Amino acid sequence: MIFIPLILIPIISFLLGILFTYEIRKIFARAQFRFGPLMSMYGELKPLLGTSRLLQPLYDILKLSYKETIIPKSANKILFKISPWISFLLALIASYFISYGGFTLLGRFELNIIFLIYFIIGVTLFWLLGAVASGSPWSEIGVRREAELMFTIEVLLILSAFSSAVQADTLSIKGIIDAQLASYPYVISNPLAALSFIIAILGKLHLKPFDIPDAEVEIVAGPFTEYSGKYLALLYASKYILTAILVGFFIDLFLAGGQLLPPVSFLNLVINFITFTALCLIVTFAISLIHALAPRFRIDQGFNWILTRAWPIAVLSIILSIIYRFIGVM
């Protein structure tokens, strides 16, 4: 039976990432009075993919896969080539730790939150290593910005995740979900931790106001500037999966994993998965609105804002969790 989740979970994460990416792009466009993603493809692919606009992010990857891959002469070719593969592989492994409405492979083990955070950080780290290996000045600027942002954002991610872990007295995602099912979702008791995690998602996915590393009008495409063809397709695919992981991780930490029924039967798993997906779409809608309405920070503004405003919120969330756990206020 282990082969079923082993095969299905990466597919689910990838498809959910496509859905959430489409939602982000669509809401961002509508806020600017544009149509958003429209399905446009080669005629030969229409019988295979249909004409649904939901599939535009998937088509973007397929289109890139058939385009020429150009490797800069100044690049460290080995590191430049393997970094997208490693980041994609780390994203796939990280997807096994998420509980999709009770359907999971590695979400039941103790300490899995620590492993999941390491894999999430690893995805971004290999984005940076590949960009550094390109030898491009535009990529270098994007990497420098990403490294500064990464230092602050990862702290938010860790503190907000451990707030739920402290409150539930476990480092297991399943344990945190079970603790919420026995009491209440942690978004109610510790909204500060949930807010910190939302800010971390915006930073990890390069969404406004933290799209500083990309900044197309300033530095072309930031760390991804020199990537093309199949390697750029791999980077996009890893970002889609990372989107699903981060949003799903939020649901598991603060909304009881979207579980309405005990995951003991196939029907219960289906109902829970539908609830999980609906909650994910709501969270994605929230971050999409922020992305659409917020202006971009400069790197110094973003760094200072996170240090002076977001970090104190995350620290307060840890303090609240300690109070709930050891003093028993709630």
* Contact in structure between 209 and 295 (CB atoms under 8 Å): yes
> Residue 10: pLDDT band by 50, 70, 90 thresholds?
very high
Q: What is the mean pLDDT of residues 15-25?
A: 92
pLDDT in tens, 238-294: 999 999 999 999 999 999 999 988 888 889 999 999 999 999 999 999 999 999 888
How high is the pLDDT of residue 247? 96
Helix ranges (DSSP H) in the chain: 3-31, 46-49, 56-65, 77-95, 112-134, 137-168, 173-182, 186-189, 191-204, 216-219, 229-254, 266-293, 299-305, 311-322
pLDDT surpassing 60 at residue 49: no
Instruction: Reply yes or no on whether the pLDDT at 112 is more than 70.
Output: yes
**Which range, of 38-47, 58-67, 309-318, averages the lowest pLDDT?**
38-47
The ranges assigned to domains in the chain are: 3-327
pLDDT at 214: 72
C-alpha 21/C-alpha 175 separation (Å) is 29
Question: Average pLDDT for residues 231-239, to the nearest whole number?
Answer: 91
Determine the Cα–Cα distance for residues 127 and 121; give it in Å rounded to an integer.
10
Give me the mean pLDDT over the 82-103 stretch.
93
Question: What are the Cα distances from residue 142, in Å, to 9, 37, 121?
Answer: 32, 26, 17
